[in-house]
Structure 1
């Protein structure tokens, strides 16, 4: 019987509201530093929600050429920057790899909202001659996949997925499928950025945003005071490789294996049928050939809404038993980043595997006693980690579950080579010296 190729993560690129770059993000996350605050990208005073997770000091001109800037929305600019950081972290120079052996899979929940708003304003106020030709693709959900593949000459299997918050996991799973099918090198993950008036109105229409003006009380997953969530911008792009190919090129990092994945779809509201999240969790464990007792921690979706939080807690209790596994929601420090949130959670899970520590769920002081989960609050928890489950749920019924596992031979502590992400990576300098 043939053995399927193993997909491992060899590079991580992160842009999060509490840190640009892997080192900054992980340090902030372990220290409990939040990136949630009052919106500054536009004046929110006339809107019912005023808080968001904004990227701190992200200047696209530091990372992209003057030619690219007018062609791209902020979401694409962030995606291109974090992709460069991920490639540098993996010490991978695409110019030294076959163009048809590299693919890109990204997820997006909103596309280029800010670019679209600006061009619509030009249309209404100045006329059609003032609308940029780049509007034809800068707004599109698939634009990040396209721009990344063009920038790095990647002509292998590529795609884009739109499943809201679940998208980041779905993109990684699709990249894993391509590796199993014979493509040795994939870029995958998600980034979203829609903190502009048009994007804000669209998010408010969902009725799930927290109206609190206190950053420490606005987004409280699994809490008795849960009142909605705070959105944010950013996400993570990961380098996935065939394990044997990564070893052959002497990749400096091997953060972990994408060991299992599954997805399900919830029934329509009012149908009387229960959530299908439990089925996705169990199927992901089956795909990883892992017993529930082998799972050391869960990075939960943590909607910050009583109903979805209850559904998730019940699914976890049903699979692992009441209080059966430590659960954390580090996105309480960034806000929900939509497609970027799930891939960022996977990056955090891989870093937790590396360092043997679970970050705490920030701001939560009174976990709901009705939810029988072991929520990590207050301080990070030192724990031996080998297998971690990541859950993501998208509005409209999307459920995804992904299992990551420490590299073979790793004790689940800080034995993997340190990550090398640098937030000062500049245009045209992606790891060429040590590929």
Structure 2
């Protein structure tokens, strides 16, 4: 792996450098690595975190593999009082938030009152907690249901618990757009920075690896039936058969570019973003990408790598490949999907891709896609299948959520 020092790009026309929104902290919980650097090193080595499900007995289900976060001991990360009132997804979120805040070097206590907030994305909320309490209700009665069920299951619980634990009393919220949510949340946080917030914690983490959640995953009919973890999730391949589910994601610290005045480490600028919604028979992923480039004031030929949504089904992969070919030309830009090592993480997936894009800018190396060796003829993409050392200044991240959500984001070197 090589590390390069990049010259700071000139300010974009009609926007002063101080107006930029930058990422100063990253926290990661992923199936192939707990913590940012552990996950990134494993990703560059091509190490997968996908394997047989151990969190519950999956022997009677047609799909029995997932991307689980192994070695996460709850008591090592949270006090007991929080363990009794939180779902696994919230525990993972609190862990990622702490890492991101420690990484950015800012003590929230030193910020103005109401100067920092939290915006997260969630697709399922505290699913496992909800299942446990509903089982208690059905089998034992209402007296046996925890009072914490009133909020532990809720989509906004991660935002709430992060804000409480770190006394972040500024503008906060949650977005629910499935896989696209990891980008949508960061974009919402950028709006708050532009309105004057000093700091925002943002991104997405999800986990729904329990029988109740698994039933929902199976009902979508998009999971690969292949039992071999190395061959189950093959985006852009001719024999693609669906995706693998995982848990985890990434959280970030966003600040105004004046963070450089305190010598903050800046991973990159969140330079462009757009979201679209599919119409009947009219996928609009390409429009989201074009609008994100326009927001970043960049041309397609200035993008050095694309982190693909990589749905893993033939129709969806073909649609994404066509969108990329329309924007960049066939095989016109390196494309990668490191989520093949973690599975699709719902709201956490695009956030983890965003973290990978930022570390690509830092280290000047594109992480690989595993599993797929050669894209199908009808998917004309330059798929990165081994780590690729190259000059990277601007990266495009794409995400699609169930129901027609499309999001695209551009991160740029600072």
TM class by smaller structure: over 0.9
Match of residue 128, structure 1, among 115, 124, 142? 142
Mapped contact 1:15–1:235 kept (Cα < 8 A): yes
Cα distance in structure 2, aligned partners of 1:275 and 1:392: 13
Q: CA RMSD in A?
A: 1.0
1:248 shift after superposition: 2.9
Cα distance in structure 1, aligned partners of 2:297 and 2:261: 26
Equivalent residues in 2 for 1:298-337, closer than 5 Å: 298-337=306-345
Aligned to 1:249: 262
Relative to structure 1, the CA distance from residue 131 to residue 180 in structure 2 (aligned partners, 3 Å threshold; closer, same or farther) is same
Match of residue 393, structure 2, among 386, 399, 408? 386
1:238 shift after superposition: 0.4
Map Cα deviations across residues 150-172 of structure 1 (whole Å, 9 max, x no partner): 11111111110000000000001
1:366 shift after superposition: 2.8
Aligned to 2:292: 284
Mapped contact 1:325–1:373 kept (Cα < 8 A): yes
Equivalent residues in 2 for 1:10-409, closer than 5 Å: 10-244=24-258, 246-251=259-264, 253-268=265-280, 273-377=281-385, 379-407=386-414
Cα distance in structure 1, aligned partners of 2:15 and 2:51: 52
Cα distance in structure 2, aligned partners of 1:248 and 1:192: 34
Cα distance in structure 2, aligned partners of 1:99 and 1:391: 35
Cα distance in structure 1, aligned partners of 2:15 and 2:378: 47
Question: Which sections of structure 2, spanning at least 5 residues, go unmatched?
Answer: 1-13
Mapped contact 2:247–2:348 kept (Cα < 8 A): yes
1:297 shift after superposition: 0.4
1:59 shift after superposition: 1.1
1:124 shift after superposition: 1.2
Map Cα deviations across residues 214-248 of structure 1 (whole Å, 9 max, x no partner): 0011000101110000000000000010111x123
Mapped contact 1:5–1:179 kept (Cα < 8 A): no
Mapped contact 1:387–1:405 kept (Cα < 8 A): yes
TM-score where L is the length of structure 1: 0.91
Map Cα deviations across residues 16-67 of structure 1 (whole Å, 9 max, x no partner): 0000001110111000000000100001111111110000211111111111
Mapped contact 1:99–1:153 kept (Cα < 8 A): no
Mapped contact 2:260–2:266 kept (Cα < 8 A): no
Q: Give aligned pairs, total.
A: 400
Cα distance in structure 2, aligned partners of 1:322 and 1:341: 25
1:249 shift after superposition: 2.9
Secondary structure of the residue that 1:285 maps to in structure 2?
helix
| Displaced runs of 4 or more, over 3 A | 1-4
Aligned to 2:11: none
Cα distance in structure 2, aligned partners of 1:247 and 1:264: 33
TM-score where L is the length of structure 2: 0.95
